[in-house]
Chains A and B, each alone.
Chain A
C-alpha cells in the first residue's frame, strides 16, 4: 500500500516535463506524442489541446483552478515532519525530507486553507505529489484533520484534492493511523451537516484512497487518473496476469460506480460550484 515503483518513475516524469516546459516554447504531450505551443497548453489548463492529456500540475495550481483569484489563506504552514522511527533505508528519512523541502519549497506534502468560490467561503486543500510522492505521514494527516476541524468550527464545506502514492512508509504505523484520524474528522463533518467534495487526481492510491479520499459526499476524478487501493504492479504480482487496458483509471471507476463524475480540469470550478450550491450555504 506504499509507494510503488511507477510513482518514482512518475516523479522523474513530472520534473522532466517541468524542465521541458520552462525551456521550450513547444511541448510534447506524454499522452499522444503531439507537439503543441506551451502557451496553448497553459491556456487549456495544462491539458494537451489535441488529446486532453492532463499534464501534472502542483497542488496549489489545482486549488487556483477552482477558487476565486487571490482569496486563498493558507493554514498551518509551520508543521514539519519528525523522524519518530529513526527510519533508514538507502537514505535516512530526515535527509529525504530535507531534499524534498528544498526541491518543493514547502514543509510537507499538503497545502490547505480557506478560500472563496463565487464569493462564498470554503476550506480547500490538496496533496503535493512532488513532495515524497504525496505520501501521507503525520503532517499530512494532521493538516487534513485540522482543515476539516476548522471547517466544522466555521461552518464551511470542505474540498480535498488528492494525488498520492499512499501512506508514508517511513512513519509506518503512525502513517496508518492518519487514515483513522482523517476519516474520524470527516465523520464529525458529516454529523455537522457539512459537505465534503473529494477530487481525485493522477495518481491517488493506497492509504489515501482507502481513507478520506473515498469519503467524499461527492467524488470527482480527473480524466484517466490512476485511482486504486493496491497498485497495478502489486496486483500483477499477486495474480500473475497482465492487467487489462484502462484498469483502475477514472473512467473504469466511473463505470464500476466508484466515483460520481469524471471532470476535465476546465470544468472543475463549474462542477464544484454546482455541488456546493446543492449543499447550500449558511
Chain B
C-alpha cells in the first residue's frame, strides 16, 4: 500500500481499527460484528465529511494517488478483448501512452490513454505518464485507423504533461501535439474523452478533443501544473496551494466554466478505494454519451466537435 494522504489520516485510523477488531479472537462473533458495524458507519461518515470538502490541492493529491486506476486498469474493467497496438512507425514505441483496439459493450472501438506506473521500475518504463512526440504520433496513427474503419475513439487522460526533455524537443514535441489537435478536429467518428487523473496541459489536450469530455469527480485539468504556475507567477513553488486555487482546475470548476460535459461520481473516499465501482460508473456514462453521438451523421459529428471547441473562451465585445 502506498503512503496514505495526510488528510486521510482519520479514515486510515478507523480502517485500521476495523482490521484490528476482526483479528481479535477474544471477542464473540456477535460482539465483533456489532463493533465492526458501528465503526463502519463512523467510517462512512468521516469519509463523506473529508471527501465532500477537499481543497483543490487535496483533489490534486487524490488525482495523483498511486493506487488510482490507470488506463490499463480501466481497459481491463470496462472493455473486452483488448489488443494493444504499438509504435509510431517513425522512431519507437512510447510506453507513456497506450493504444489499442477493444470491444466496448460488444462493439469495436479504439482506446488511447496515458499510462503511469505504480513503482519506480514501471514509472521509468512509462516515463511517469509523460508522453514524447512518438507517443502523440502513435495516437495520430490510431486516429487515422479509427477514422478509416469508422470506429469510435475513447481516450483516457492522466498525465503531468508532455515530456519536457532535449530529445522530445529535437523530435518536435510542439509539432506532434499541434498535429494531433488538427487530426482530432478532422474526425468524423465519435470520440469520448475522460480525464481520469491529472489533465496536464498540452500533453493532456493532445488526446482530449472528444465530442464529449467527462471528468472523474476528483480529477484535475489545467493549462499548467500548480507547481509550475507558482514558480513563475509567485517565483516560489511552495505557493502551489494558492496556484491550485487560482487555476480553477477541479472537475467542479470546469463544469461551471462549461469546458466539460459531465462529472462522473467516484466511490466515497476516491476512485483508489474501489476500482470496480468507478469503472462501473464510468462505463455507464461513456455508453450513454457514445449512444447519443453515434446517432449523428459523420458530418454532424465533425460539426458538433468543431462548434464545441469553437465556442470556448470568455471575452467582451
Taking a contact as CB atoms under 8 Å apart, the answer to whether B257 and A174 are in contact is: yes
Closest A residue to B164 by beta carbon equals: A230
Taking a contact as CB atoms under 8 Å apart, the answer to whether B257 and A82 are in contact is: no
Instruction: Return B110 CB to nearest CB of chain A, in Å.
Output: 19
Taking a contact as CB atoms under 8 Å apart, the answer to whether A167 and B223 are in contact is: yes
Contact of B317 among A79, A89, A243, A258 (CB under 8 A): A79
Taking a contact as CB atoms under 8 Å apart, the answer to whether B178 and A1 are in contact is: no
**Most chain-A Cβ atoms within 10 A of its Cβ — which of B179, B221, B257, B312?**
B312
Q: Which residues from B are CB-within-8-Å of A32? A: none
Taking a contact as CB atoms under 8 Å apart, the answer to whether B313 and A173 are in contact is: no
Q: Which residues from A are CB-within-8-Å of B164? A: 229-230, 234-235, 238
Q: Which residues from A are CB-within-8-Å of B175? A: 214, 258
Near B by CB (< 8 A), chain A positions 76-104 give 76, 78-82, 84-85, 87-90
Taking a contact as CB atoms under 8 Å apart, the answer to whether A187 and B186 are in contact is: yes
| Per-position 1/0 for B302-317, Cβ under 8 A of A | 0001100110111111
Bound: A78/B229 CA distance, A: 29
Closest B residue to A215 by beta carbon equals: B178
Near B by CB (< 8 A), chain A positions 171-197 give 171-181, 183-188, 190-191
Query: Of the 9-residue stretches A34-42, A136-144, A265-273, which lies at the interface with chain B?
Result: A136-144
Closest A residue to B178 by beta carbon equals: A214
| Per-position 1/0 for A1-31, Cβ under 8 A of B | 1111100000000000000000000000000
Closest B residue to A208 by beta carbon equals: B174
Closest A residue to B186 by beta carbon equals: A187
Q: Is B279 an interface residue (CB 8 A)?
A: no
Q: List 7 A-B pairs, minimum CB-CB distance, nearest first.
A: A230-B164, A138-B313, A184-B185, A183-B181, A177-B312, A209-B174, A229-B174
**18 cross-chain CB contacts under 8 A:** A1-B228, A4-B232, A85-B257, A89-B234, A145-B310, A167-B223, A169-B224, A169-B247, A172-B222, A172-B248, A172-B249, A173-B223, A174-B257, A174-B312, A176-B205, A180-B209, A183-B182, A247-B166
What is B's interface to A at a CB cutoff of 8 Å?
A: 161-162, 164-166, 168-175, 177-179, 181-186, 201-202, 205-206, 209, 221-224, 228-229, 232-235, 242-243, 246-249, 254, 257, 259, 305-306, 309-310, 312-317
